[in-house]
Amino acid sequence: MQEFKFLWKYISRHKWQYIGGILTLFVVDFLNLYIPRLTGEVTDGLTAHTLGMSGLLKIIAAIMAVGAIIALGRFLWRLFLFGAARKIQYEMRNDMFSHLEKMSVEYYNEHKTGDLMSRFINDLNSIRSAIGMAVISAFDATVMAVMVICQMIFYVDLRLTLLAIIPMLFIFGGEFYYGAIMKKRFNEKQEALSDLTDMVQESFSGVRVIKAFVQERAELKAFLKYNDRSRDKNMSVAKLQAIVMPLLDVIIGASSLITLLYGGYLALVGDITLGRFVAFNQYVTMLVWPMIAAGESITTMSQGLASAKRVKEVLDEKPEIFDDPDADKVEKIDGHITFNHLTFIHNGHTEPTLDDVCLDVPAGTTLAVIGRTGNGKSTLVNLLLHLYNTKPGMILIDDRDINKIPLNVLRANIAYVPQDNFLFSDSLRHNIAFGAGGDDMDEVIKATKAACIHDNIVAFPDGYETIVGERGVTLSGGQKQRSSIARALMKDAPILILDDALSAVDTDTEEHILKNLKENRKGRTTILIAHRISTIQNADMIMVLDDGKAVEIGNHNELMAKNGIYKSMFDKQQLEAAKGTKSGEVAE
């Protein structure tokens, strides 16, 4: 089974801990067998008046010594087996996180955050139980059961033993059927929990939208549906356990009753001694745990294997973006970018998002890209960051195919301000220094001044140590954008990409930021993606995208002279600005 192979890969790394734990567990179980025998010897000796005080004290001392060794052994097998299971859970979580960091953007477009979080937490906990407690239960269910039965046969009586274990055989046979059903139901339970987690995570992330549209009741109804499904799947597991466990008690009770009746008869007729009858009852009690352990091990292992399958599905996904084995050995990028008949089609689409784009951008150039929404501007940025794969030779950086440049080198030499302006739940200082390799305060302040956010930050009660909320929710849109720009500027990379990064700031602030960029980015490549022509009209080169094609290329004056799409957009925005000004004057 693939799940067993997957788990064995991790278990084999800690085989000595498992071997040590199992050997210790064997010693504990073996010593446990002698306590009923010693108790039986005391009973027979006292009954027959053949046991003196010194002999009694010796047996009591032996029982205490065995008890002390068992206590130490139980500590050691827990240390070995539970410790190994915790380490494996830790390694799996590290492997999952590391693997998910390598996955392409498309993977996260297709997989929900809540589902991945459920696999990270709930499934790994189930696996830990399967390779920890289930190992102990399985060992006790087999080795302990065999040793106890052997003691019952050879020390007490074969006939009595056979009668006592007949009910136990029903447990043994039924548990395989029970395990198969449990695995299926547990898998459904985990999937329902994943859906619930994802729904809750998405609702909390979008709580502002929910409140703005007064959709609290609708969201609650949606939540109740997911919660009801999760409850039903949990109850299906609980019901199965609720049926099996009482049946287990009934079968164990039947075995104990047989022991009491037939064993008492054998003791009365003299076939076995009273001490051995007492010992046999203790052995039957000891046999109860292996039978229960068999059920628990099958349950836990079934759940663990179902979770292992879900974790394995994540780790088996192959990253679409990875370093070419023959990648060039390059450490620094100058910033010369060439688009050579660049064509790109997103997964699931039939029409190209970018169609035969050709452009040469010398190092140190400020390139502006403008166009209507959905015309491929952000896709162009994602391709430059190698978040998607392109065909060989379509994008060249410093005359090298982008596919031949190591990913860490490429991205280390590009500073990026995304549209969504993501900030971490951390201090502003750490957010701005993120990716810069240090958080020198002078450098942080220099970057924030260039991004026109310094004055806002020092006005906060905690200044640069202000903790922003999840995704920067405690900041305004403009503050988030300027913080993201400061983060990119502090990286001081050869290539800077601003993807519609000035849309939330006023025109006066925009003008100051652009002026600072011009001064700070001399000799370095800057790419501006924008909708407002005021943002990009002073760029060295402007590319107009329409239906994914570079329909116009030139500077502001050249494009205005062409009297094409660019001029049409410029005139329209000028007219809208004039209307806005006039409306403001009337309002005054």
Q: State the total domains in the chain.
A: 3
- Residue 65: burial class (beta carbons within 10 Å; 0-12, 13-18, 19+): exposed
CA distances from 511 to 331, 517, 518, 535, 536 (A): 34, 10, 11, 8, 11
Buried b (16+ CB within 10 A) or exposed e, 480-494: bbbbbbbbbbbbebb
Instruction: Say if CB 450 and CB 460 are below 8 A apart.
Output: no
Dihedral class, residue 376 (left if φ above 0, else alpha if ψ from -120 to 50, else beta): left
Q: Is 138 helix (H, G, I), strand (E, B) or coil?
A: helix
User: Considering the domain boundaries, does residue 570 fall inside one?
Assistant: no
Verify that 380 and 237 share a domain, yes or no: no
d(CA 391, CA 29): 64
| Long-range contacts, stretch 167-170, CB < 8 angstroms, 24+ apart | 167/251, 167/252, 167/254, 167/255, 167/258, 168/251, 168/255, 168/287, 168/291, 170/251
User: Considering the domain boundaries, does residue 453 fall inside one?
Assistant: yes
Verify that 155 and 65 share a domain, yes or no: yes
User: 504 CB contacts (<8 Å, ≥6 apart)?
Assistant: 476, 477, 478, 480, 481
Residue 472 confidence class, pLDDT cut points 50, 70, 90: low
Verify that 253 and 266 share a domain, yes or no: yes
Closest CA to 527 of 572, 493, 557: 493
Q: Is 317 helix (H, G, I), strand (E, B) or coil?
A: coil
pLDDT score recorded for residue 586: 41
Could you tell me the pTM of the whole model? Answer: 0.70
Give the H/E segment covering residue 128: helix 124-131
Verify that 16 and 78 share a domain, yes or no: yes
CA distances from 246 to 178, 243, 254, 255 (A): 14, 6, 12, 14
Verify that 406 and 470 share a domain, yes or no: no
Verify that 354 and 309 share a domain, yes or no: no
pLDDT score recorded for residue 48: 67
User: Considering the domain boundaries, does residue 322 fall inside one?
Assistant: no
User: Considering the domain boundaries, does residue 584 fall inside one?
Assistant: no
User: 79 CB contacts (<8 Å, ≥6 apart)?
Assistant: 21
Verify that 88 and 123 share a domain, yes or no: yes
Q: What are the tokens at 320? A: 């679409």
Instruction: Say if CB 454 and CB 515 are below 8 A apart.
Output: no
How many residues in total does the chain contain?
588
Q: What are the tokens at 332? A: 């620094």
The terminus-to-terminus CA distance of the chain in angstroms comes to: 77
CA angle 332, 337, 343 (to 5 degrees): 130
Distance of alpha carbon 567 from the chain centroid? 49
pLDDT at position 172 over 70: no
Q: Is 495 helix (H, G, I), strand (E, B) or coil?
A: strand
For residue 427, what is the DSSP state? Answer: B
pLDDT in tens, 416-455: 888 877 788 788 888 888 877 777 788 888 888 888 888 8
Verify that 293 and 439 share a domain, yes or no: no
pLDDT score recorded for residue 175: 65
Domain that holds residue 150: 2-316
Residue 584 confidence class, pLDDT cut points 50, 70, 90: very low
pLDDT score recorded for residue 520: 83
Verify that 395 and 430 share a domain, yes or no: no
User: Considering the domain boundaries, does residue 153 fall inside one?
Assistant: yes
User: In this structure, what CATH number is given to the domain that contains residue 124?
Assistant: 1.20.1560.10
User: 400 CB contacts (<8 Å, ≥6 apart)?
Assistant: 328, 330
If you average pLDDT over every residue of the chain, what do you get?
A: 80
Q: What are the tokens at 28? A: 């504990």
Verify that 12 and 66 share a domain, yes or no: yes
Domain stops at, among 281, 316, 351? 316
User: Considering the domain boundaries, does residue 377 fall inside one?
Assistant: yes
Buried b (16+ CB within 10 A) or exposed e, 17-29: bbebbbebbbbbb
Alpha helices in 317-468 (DSSP H): 377-384, 407-412, 428-433, 441-450, 454-459
d(CA 450, CA 238): 60
Higher pLDDT among residues 4 and 442, named by residue: 442
Least confident interval from 29-33, 92-96, 157-161, 357-361? 157-161
Instruction: Say if CB 487 and CB 444 are below 8 A apart.
Output: no
User: 395 CB contacts (<8 Å, ≥6 apart)?
Assistant: 337, 338, 339, 340, 342, 383, 384, 401, 402
Please give the average per-residue pLDDT across 265-273, as a whole number. 74
Verify that 57 and 93 share a domain, yes or no: yes
pLDDT score recorded for residue 171: 67
Verify that 479 and 502 share a domain, yes or no: no
pLDDT in tens, 376-418: 888 888 888 888 888 888 999 988 888 888 888 888 888 888 8
User: Considering the domain boundaries, does residue 199 fall inside one?
Assistant: yes
User: In this structure, what CATH number is given to the domain that contains residue 473?
Assistant: 3.40.50.300
User: Considering the domain boundaries, does residue 576 fall inside one?
Assistant: no
